[in-house]
Amino acid sequence: MNDFIDRLTSLIDEAMAKQLSSNSDENSPFIDVEDYTKKTGKRFRMTKSQIDAGLTREQAFREYMDKMIEKQ
């Protein structure tokens, strides 16, 4: 019975975390790099500092979106 309760608790925690994280992206005009390209017709380009920092393309895009949201 404890195994069932632990699995149910884990499932609920994951669902709540996913729901709360998706709400934080509510103000984001773009979902991901592909959505950015589709909506703007432009390719997302990483800055030299992002490349030098060793960020992945997704991390660089998230950083770009965070800055964009702060400006609003």
Please tell me the predicted confidence (pLDDT) of residue 15. Answer: 74
C-alpha–C-alpha distance, residues 44 and 35, integer Å: 10
Please tell me the predicted confidence (pLDDT) of residue 70. Answer: 78
* Interval 3-62: pLDDT, tens: 888 888 888 878 776 665 554 455 678 888 999 999 999 999 999 999 999 999 999 999
Please tell me the predicted confidence (pLDDT) of residue 23. Answer: 46
Domain extents in the chain:
2-71
Q: Half-sphere exposure (CA, 13 Å, Cβ side) for 67? A: 6
Please tell me the predicted confidence (pLDDT) of residue 9. Answer: 87
